[in-house]
Amino acid sequence: MLVVGILLIVAVIAWIDLPRLWRKKQKKDLSVYLILLLIGTGLSIAEGLNWDIPNPMDWLIYVYRPVGEWIFHQL
């Protein structure tokens, strides 16, 4: 039921915004809008289904921790 609610909200958002972007003939803006809307929809559905979504901060820690440790040992 939650997924249906999310899809209905996304449909309303698209119904309001897409005609305006389509009339302005801004294909780049339209494509970026659709990509971000799809990513947001997918993440919202995954969160609603309690799937484990990795935190972007974990990726940054994974990359920068060795660099920070190396600098700390050099000092």
DSSP string, 27-41: HHHHHHHHHHHHHHH
Contact 7, 41 (CB under 8 A): yes
How far apart are alpha carbons 36 and 57 in whole angstroms?
20
pLDDT tens readout for residues 55-69:
889 889 998 999 999
Annotated domain spans of the chain: 2-74
- On whether the CB atoms of residues 6 and 41 are closer than 8 A, the answer is yes
Distance CA 6, CA 10 (A): 6
Q: CA 58, CA 21: separation in Å to the nearest integer?
A: 36
pLDDT single digits (tens) 33-45: 999 999 999 999 9
Does the global pTM surpass 0.85? Answer: no
